Structure 1
Amino acid sequence: MVTPARVVIGLCLSAPFVAMLWVGSYARTDPAFIGIPFFYWYQMLWVLVSTALTVVAYKLWQRDQRARAAARGGARR
């Protein structure tokens, strides 16, 4: 069953893959950040962003599962 929460979960989990596979968007040296070329700091930034998106996806999944369990429990009574 596709729900809005599951769509958001899918987007959260697929965004890092799309960002890293689209190499043309970050295959350059400028702008540098504290002397680090863009190519490197962009990838390191995505490590943090990916972590945050995975946490969001996990929390949404937990909420979705609790709602489904509550709906099943309410239907049985």
Structure 2
Amino acid sequence: METPTSTPPRRAWLPLILLLPYLALLWLPFYNGAPPSLLGFPFFYWYQFLWVPITSLLMYVVYRSAK
């Protein structure tokens, strides 16, 4: 019996999810500014910090789906 060597088509889009944080943080003019602030932190900082748990969650979803 032959084993498949490529990812099944229904899961081929999963690695593309990992591009979301990259693209969201790559577009600097979108979040390069002070307002709105959150707990005294400018938007520039808290937007980047927000993507840390989001990226971890996305990596977890892709990891669990790839099994």
> TM-score interval w.r.t. the shorter chain?
0.7 to 0.9
Q: Which has the higher helix share?
A: 1
Q: How far apart in 2 are the matches of 1:58 and 1:22?
A: 26
TM-score by length of 1: 0.72
Q: How far apart in 2 are the matches of 1:44 and 1:15?
A: 15
Q: Which runs of 4+ in 1 moved over 6 A?
A: none
How many residue pairs get aligned? The number is 61
List runs of 5+ in structure 1 lacking aligned partners. Answer: 63-77
TM-score by length of 2: 0.82
- 1:14 is matched with which residue? 19
Q: Which has the larger radius of gyration?
A: 1
TM superposition shift of 1:21 = 0.7
Give the alignment's Cα RMSD to 1 decimal. 1.2
